[in-house]
Amino acid sequence: MTVVISILLTCVCSFLLYVVLLHKVKEHRQYVTGLLSVDTIQTKLQKGFRGFVFCLDVVGYPNTKNWVKPLKQIIEQQGLELLVFDGHIIFSDRMEIAHMLKIKTHPCIVAVNMDDQYAEQMIVHQLHINQDITDIQQFITNKLSVIKS
């Protein structure tokens, strides 16, 4: 009897956990698939992009969208664009983008002005939770005037 109850109880709990995990996976997948495709990014860069590029580990870190959101607002308020993509995909599938942005390693943030061939990057130490964005915010603020001019 103890065996049956234990198995039933653990199976019910496992099923509930499975449902929660399915939801978490779905949420993360929606964010990743909602990002611009590598083709679109490449076209944008070739057409003279001005703004910031976040080359991150989007697949590996589910909380990325949380800390990117306030930074996106700062950038867009200045009339500039923000591109977010997964570094692994760029380095394995589309090295041209890495060359265009002079990216050698990731995760990183790049201030870009393709008209002037300007691309300056900052390496980011991506964390699972409570990502400290103070340094990134500082970098963006410093580069805003350079990119806009």
- Applying CB under 8 A, the residues found at the interface with other proteins are 2-3, 6-7, 10-11, 14-15, 17-18, 21-22, 24-26, 28-29, 32, 57, 59-62, 88, 91-92, 128
Nearest to 31 by CA among 52, 51, 53, 60: 60
Residue closer to other proteins, measured from CB, 59 or 133:
59
Q: Rounded CA gap, 22 and 19, in Å?
A: 5
Residue closer to other proteins, measured from CB, 54 or 139:
54
User: What's the min distance (Å) between Cβ of 8 and other proteins?
Assistant: 11
User: What's the min distance (Å) between Cβ of 42 and other proteins?
Assistant: 20
Task: Give the tokens for residue 92.
Answer: 């394995």
